Amino acid sequence: MKERLHPVMLAGTGSDVGKSILATALCRIFRQDGYNPAPFKAQNMALNSFATPEGLEIGRAQAVQAEAAGIPCHTDMNPLLLKPQSDHSSQVVLNGRPIGNRDAYDYFRKEGRAELREAVYAAYDRLATRFNPIVMEGAGSLAEINLRDSDLVNVPMAMHAGADILLVGDIDRGGIFASVYGSIMLLRPEERKYVKGILINKFRGDLRLFEEGRRMLEDLCGIPVLGVVPYYHDIHIEEEDSVALAAKSAAAQRGKINVAVVLLRHISNFTDFNALERDPRVHLFYSNNVDEIAKADIVILPGSKSTLDDLYELRRNGAAQAILRARREGASVLGICGGYQMMGVQIRDPQHVEGDIEAMPGLGLLPMITEMLGEKVTRQVRFTPADGTGDPMEGYEIHMGRTLPAEGGPFRPLNRLEDGQEDGCLADEKCMGTYIHGILDNPAFIDRLLAPHSASITEAAEAFDYHAFKEEQYDRLAAHVRKYVDMPRLYDILQGKR
């Protein structure tokens, strides 16, 4: 039996320094080394979420880390999820279920934090009885001293768990000495002793040029630098942040099927398109530019955290008209979740679930009417095409609306769920919508979507096995981190030897 290790927390000098990726790597490494690891992030803020096998909601990053660890995801891995709805408010999801919307000012006040702290501590404690080690992830900077008393996710969480903290700094953004030293010095003395190592991430160039800098950091901080991890370009792990989506080239490519994912302001679950993006038959890009949408063979309307607001914006910026024109000229249109709702004839929100708009006409591509409801549907599903052909496929649902056929309109469901319920709507093989996230992770559905445009493909290409691809990427990430992080020294720390 493997010896028990201390829990380890990846905490950052700031946001986007690579904590999630390094946590994913450690989950894989510990699994490879015979341990039974699990990820944990007390509080996550993201629009990318996932449904657990129990039908509850967690941040997508922890679902990815669980996959790297080889275990099913669970709400105890991310007990508190904030899903931004505007610049000032978020939906609060506690233990997988929404408990309401909160203004940021109200949320971060001290009042009411004790109950949330008790809930995230309890989730960690349950997880720690079943797995070892727990790979914890902080949020933002561990030294946000103005939020110290209300912090649920960084040093107080590490102190509750008795975790060894690894401080992650991003050298690519500059200021690595100030950010690492300053972060440590802003901690209270009793907090500082939990920081056991420093990881420098996203290094570019010759590592030998930073050897002196490494020694200087160790002398300044009195803490070992356990690794300097180079930037990589050829390892692909699902991302949590949508910032980079618009940079993916919209230039149409000959010999491939060009797929445009409409870039919504409140896009959610954009990981739906990772498998399609890697398919050798496809060139996929994100855009709300009317001319770029016109270049596409297939237009996909993705999920949205604010469907009515995004639909209004599509009408305002002309993208809605471009989608309708693309459909008339032979492009396929697929809507997923919020995108499916937009494709109907109307969206109604009489209870003001999303905001002040009570109703808005949809794009009219599908004979469906959606009514927003306060109760969220979250579940994993198995399904087959509604016509009964093909093998079972898998996906998950996360939505707050109910979509039904408009009175008197022709209606064909797209899918039939394992429990007999119908999902989605099929106008024809070039126009369809579904509530199922992850539907494009199924090769059979991708083949169906691409089939009307197969003449555009100039070279034969096999269907893409996304599951095998992801497993390979986790192994490659683990190998990359092993190469540049002193794992024997880290194991000594986690065994209490240093």
481, two tokens: 């981190």
Alpha helix ranges (H) inside 33-71: 60-69
Half-sphere exposure of 203 (CA within 13 A, CB side): 21
CA distance 343 to 433: 7
CA distance 152 to 78: 12
**Residue linked to tokens 């394992």:** 418
What single DSSP character describes residue 4?
P
pLDDT of residue 47: 82
CA distance 437 to 428: 20
| CB 269, CB 437: distance < 8 Å | yes
pLDDT of residue 247: 56
Sign of the torsion formed by the C-alpha atoms of 305, 275, 343 and 413 = negative
Reference 40, options 14, 2, 69; nearest CA is 69
Q: How far is CA 69 from CA 64, 131, 214, 230, in A?
A: 9, 11, 30, 23
pLDDT of residue 430: 97
Q: Which residues does 25 contact at the CB level (< 8 Å), separation at least 6?
A: 68, 477, 478, 480, 481
Reference 134, options 162, 154, 115; nearest CA is 162
pLDDT of residue 461: 61
Please measure the distance between the N-terminal and C-terminal CA atoms of the chain and give it in whole angstroms.
22
Task: Name the burial class of residue 64, with classes exposed (0-12), middle (13-18) and buried (19+) by CB atoms within 10 angstroms of its CB.
Answer: buried
| CB 23, CB 10: distance < 8 Å | yes
Q: Which residues pair with 241 in a beta bridge?
A: none
**Residue linked to tokens 């992801």:** 470
Residues carrying an active site annotation = 337, 437
Sign of the torsion formed by the C-alpha atoms of 194, 170, 275 and 304 = positive
CA distance 83 to 47: 5
CA distance 60 to 49: 4
pLDDT of residue 465: 86
Hey, what's the torsion of the CAs at 451, 453, 458, 463, to 10 degrees? -30
pLDDT of residue 462: 66
12, two tokens: 């950052």
pLDDT of residue 442: 95
CA angle 254, 259, 261 (to 5 degrees): 145
Catalogue all structural domains in the chain, each as residue range(s) with its CATH number. 8-236+472-494 (3.40.50.300), 255-457 (3.40.50.880)
**Amino acid identity of 151?**
D
CA distance 44 to 62: 9
144, two tokens: 């946000």
Give, for all 498 residues of the chain, the pLDDT tens digit.
Answer: 688 999 999 999 999 999 999 999 999 999 999 999 999 999 998 888 999 999 999 999 999 999 999 999 999 999 999 988 766 678 889 999 988 877 755 666 666 678 899 999 999 999 999 999 999 999 999 998 888 888 999 999 999 999 999 999 999 999 999 999 999 999 999 999 999 999 999 999 899 989 999 999 999 999 999 999 999 988 989 876 655 565 555 666 778 999 999 999 999 898 999 999 999 999 999 999 999 998 899 999 999 989 999 999 999 999 999 999 999 999 999 999 999 999 999 999 999 888 888 999 999 999 999 999 888 899 999 999 998 888 899 999 999 889 999 987 789 999 999 999 999 999 999 999 999 999 999 999 999 999 999 888 876 666 678 899 999 999 999 999 999 999 999 999 999 987
Q: What is the pairing mode between strands 359-361 and 346-348?
A: antiparallel
Instruction: Let me know how long the chain is.
Output: 498
CA distance 231 to 213: 18
Q: How far is CA 12 from CA 79, 143, 145, in A?
A: 20, 9, 14
CA distance 429 to 107: 46
Q: What's the pTM value of the predicted model, to 2 decimals? A: 0.84
pLDDT of residue 203: 93
DSSP codes joined into one string, 236-281: ----S--TTGGGS-----TTSEEEEEE--TTEE-GGGGHHHHH-TT
CA distance 57 to 136: 18
